[in-house]
Amino acid sequence: MGNKDSRPKFSLFKWARNRFFTGVVVAIPIVATLLAVSWVVQKIDQNVFRIVPNRLNPETYLGFAIPGLGLIISIVLLFLLGIVASNFIGKSMIKSGEKLLDRVPVVSPVYNSLKQIVQTVAAQKDRAFRDVCLIEYPKKDVWAIGFVTADLGGQPKEALGEDMVCVFVPTTPNPTSGFLLFLHKDNIRILDMTPEEGAKMIISGGMVSGEQNDVLNAGGGLELNTKR
């Protein structure tokens, strides 16, 4: 008797199913990105055209909407504002306006707080989220991923001492919210990960790690298992 062929038989259904789901995996991030960008552009357009008079709105004369026109107008206006704020007259006008705001009880603290935050982030943009780390949180033997944002300063530093750092621990799957912790450098473990890799792992709930990113970037993560 001859030996039976032990090679798996080709299944058209399995082949088609895996190719379909591979297409889904490729399409989802593309479609989600396009939808997100489209939503942001629409929101910017709507808010810009609320403050632009109709006589200055090109769509009034053209008779049809131009997607992204509000975004272009915003970029131009911010560029012009930057030019004005960079010269002597513009700086004087801004200082005069800030002096007026300082006299308003409710507006003044809000404006000054936001200004300080923006200026601090802008001055430290190259150092923001400089390291990805592991910390024991919220209890012993339970670990969480965090981002080292800066060395501790000000009154907290005077109260806690030297070698303390600020660690931001984001929540999953929304990394824009989280907790700010003050930890000693000896109590954190720096990981060999970029902030982007750490953010992907947090957003995905741990399903995407640094090693998986390398596989996906190499093109090896798009083919589904065809042995099933």
CATH class of the domain defined by 131-217: mainly beta
Return per-residue pLDDT of the chain as tens, 228 residues: 555 555 666 688 888 888 898 889 889 889 988 999 899 888 888 888 888 777 777 777 777 777 888 888 888 888 988 888 888 888 888 888 888 888 888 888 888 888 887 776 666 655 567 789 999 999 889 999 999 988 898 899 999 999 999 999 999 888 888 999 999 999 999 999 988 899 889 988 888 876 655 544 544 444 444 444
pLDDT, position 220: 44
Handedness of CA 78, 124, 182, 144 (dihedral sign): positive
Burial 174-196 (b: 16+ CB within 10 A, else e): ebeebeebebeeeebeebebeee
Q: Measured between alpha carbons, how far apart are the two ends of the chain, in Å?
A: 30
pLDDT, position 88: 86
Residue tagged 């915003």 (tokens): 74
Neighbours of 16 (CB within 10 A): 10
Query: The tokens of 52 are what?
Result: 């632009």
pLDDT, position 179: 92
Domain spans in the chain, listed from the N-terminal domain onward: 131-217
